[in-house]
Amino acid sequence: MQVRVKLMAALRGKLPPGSQGGVATLAVEDGATVKILLERLGISGGHIHLIMVNGEQATDRERPLQEGDEVTVFPPVAGG
């Protein structure tokens, strides 16, 4: 199945080569979860502030993904 992934800020470097604008469409196996997707991209929990699936906050990383879902991942924000 296909899901769309948007990685914000410093996380964009985790997308596959050829991705543009921090967005990529990825093929994942049926039954894949948010956690599996993040592991596949090499994004650990310490690099994540917020995950959204289809515009809604996703607090359960075991949430199964569906065909056409859009997953947006925000890193922690730091500033001074």
Question: CATH code at 44?
Answer: 3.10.20.30
| For residue 57, pLDDT beyond 70 | yes
| For residue 79, pLDDT beyond 70 | no
* Domain coverage including residue 6: 2-74
Whether 36 is covered by a domain: the verdict is yes
Instruction: Please give the tally of structural domains in the chain.
Output: 1
Q: Look up residue 50 and give its two tokens.
A: 């917020």
Q: What is the pLDDT of residues 4-34, one digit of tens each?
A: 999 999 999 999 998 988 999 999 999 999 9
Question: What is the DSSP-derived secondary structure letter of residue 15?
Answer: S
HSE toward the beta carbon, residue 41, CA cutoff 13 A:
35
| For residue 56, pLDDT beyond 70 | yes
Whether 80 is covered by a domain: the verdict is no
Task: Indicate the average pLDDT of the chain.
Answer: 93
CA distances from 45 to 18, 59, 67, 68, 75 (A): 25, 12, 24, 24, 10
Burial class, 37, CB count within 10 angstroms (exposed 0-12 / middle 13-18 / buried 19+): buried
pTM (2 decimals)?
0.92
